[in-house]
Structure 1
Amino acid sequence: MIALSIAGFDPSGGAGILADVKTFQALGVYPTAVITALTAQNVKQVESVESVNPDFVAKQIDLILAEEDINYAKTGMLYSAEMVEMVASKVKEYNLKLVVDPVLVAGSGGVLSQDNLVETLKKHLLPVAELTTPNIHEAEALTGLEIKDEDDACKAACELGKLCPTVVTGGHLNGRDIFYQSSLNEKSLGFIDGEILKSNNTHGSGCTYSAAVTAYLVKGLSLVESLKQASYFTKKAIENGSHGTLNQIWRLNQP
């Protein structure tokens, strides 16, 4: 079992590509990783971002997929519209099943994207994705809707669900995730129960969650069951974390 992460590098180890790799490994999935950007940051602040040339990122993807049989990938920080368009083209070229974590702003408040990223994500990447996993701030940016409560989050999930299945994570509301998917014959809106944890160890929680969803999909779980298991895994990672970040090495004996 193998998965691909296409994301930025967080030198603190709590988020980004390192969080994805640790999550994949903790769940028994072999990680491959393509770095889209370098950051100077820690758990409290982002000082600067240096984007990798999209052509070089494309070479990384091509060389990995030339040798590895990979069906599932996830994205994290892509930073630029050019990078998003390139990744979308590779998803279609290799028929990848993609989980999109629409990283726009770090939990510490640092900007992790250029101004034109939102529209490019909506136009090029979300329509080729199997799932997107925004928190409420990312969902607001992607939809233009203000989210103050679960009803607002449901509206945002339904709006984004026109592009691809969407889970609006509940860490900034009451802990429940809101999932919406639409097909030709059915539209479904549901809740995945959770809780708000009183912890400072949340740096990288969005990366861990989306990586865990990807890992469970690789292992053959359904989308809904993958969301449930990823929510539980992320909760346990937060509970076992320290120094302001999660512990994705926490191991889970699950199918």
Structure 2
Amino acid sequence: MTPPRVLTVAGSDSGGGAGIQADLKTMSALGVHGMSVIAAVTAQNSLGVQGYWELPPEAVRAQLDSVLGDIGAQAVKTGMLASPALVEVVAEVLGTVTAPVVVDPVGVSKHGDSLLAPEAVETVISRLLPVATVVTPNLYEVEQLTSIKVEDETGMRPAAEALLSLGPTWVLIKGGHLPGPPVDLLTDGTEEYRLTAPRHDNHHTHGTGCTLASAIASHLALGDDIPTAVHNAKTYVTGAIAHGYPLGSGIGPVDHAWRHRST
């Protein structure tokens, strides 16, 4: 039988730890068929991003039309979109699909390198967030999108309300950068869930955001509702972080195949 199909629209990470590569590894690990629309190509390794090049908007649209017009998707995940033109194209197409859309509003890499042009932030706010079923910002991205700086767990709910006012159905604020045990907040404005996990003493965390968003999309395609999909994705990425490994001279990746390796 054909497995559920999940489409990622993101940038390529030449080091293999994040971006399209992390998305497809996650999808394979979770038993869905992963498909990709490449929006940008990065020169990237464990030390950082040395450069990136956007694809022309018409190339991104052609990939979207090709996959969605023939194969279809039961969930879509977006990652690095880089420019206003690319955000516009992706938002326009995804506004016509019925599958759930998980938006990872990628602003910077794990190393602090910018992956979204400043002028594209407003386009993400006005065009992409309104088509999102779930948006998954970290604390830097929360501030980038809402101008709200979250400094402790009590600040997460007001930030989530500000994000919900921009149009997504659900918001998952990732609190891993807060002091103390990591806590994420998932809410649609009515239901609210706090997700906790142990903090692993592990610096090999490249690709965590991409992996989490892709895992959520995969579980949605498998039939989970939003809270269940996020819970299951959180469990998967926590294990991937715990099993992260050194690679190169900098930050290593999470281990997408940790469940396979630990059996």
Q: Which residue of 1 aligns with 2:256?
A: 248
Superposed displacement of residue 109, structure 1: 0.6
Superposed displacement of residue 45, structure 1: 1.1
Q: Which residue of 1 aligns with 2:13?
A: 10
CA RMSD after TM alignment: 1.2
Q: Which residue of 1 aligns with 2:183?
A: 176
Contact 2:100–2:220, Cα closer than 8 Å, also in 1: no
Q: Which residue of 1 aligns with 2:239?
A: 236
Superposed displacement of residue 157, structure 1: 1.2
Counterpart of 2:216, as a letter, is: V
Q: Which residue of 2 aligns with 1:153?
A: 156
Distance of 1:28 and 1:190 partners within structure 2: 26
1:158-169 equivalence runs, <5 A? 158-162=161-165, 163-164=167-168, 165-169=170-174
3-state DSSP class of the match of 1:251? helix
Distance of 1:56 and 1:236 partners within structure 2: 36
Range with greater deviation from structure 2 (51-60 or 191-200): 191-200
Contact 1:118–1:141, Cα closer than 8 Å, also in 2: yes
What is the TM-score with the length of structure 2 in the denominator?
A: 0.91
The answer to whether structure 1 residue 43 and structure 2 residue 46 are counterparts is yes
Deviations 1:158-202 (A, max 9, x none): 2102221100012112311111203xxxx2332112232210111
Contact 1:12–1:41, Cα closer than 8 Å, also in 2: yes
Superposed displacement of residue 94, structure 1: 3.0
Deviations 1:26-81 (A, max 9, x none): 00000000100011111221111100011111001111112213131000000011
Distance of 1:95 and 1:189 partners within structure 2: 24
- Structure 1's unaligned 5+ residue stretches are none
Q: Segments of 4+ in structure 1 off by > 6 A?
A: none
3-state DSSP class of the match of 1:111? coil
Q: Which residue of 2 aligns with 1:99?
A: 102
Distance of 2:12 and 2:92 partners within structure 1: 22
3-state DSSP class of the match of 2:199? coil
The answer to whether structure 1 residue 188 and structure 2 residue 195 are counterparts is no
- Structure 2's unaligned 5+ residue stretches are 247-251
2:131 to 125, 128, 131: 128
Contact 1:77–1:102, Cα closer than 8 Å, also in 2: yes
What is the TM-score with the length of structure 1 in the denominator?
A: 0.94
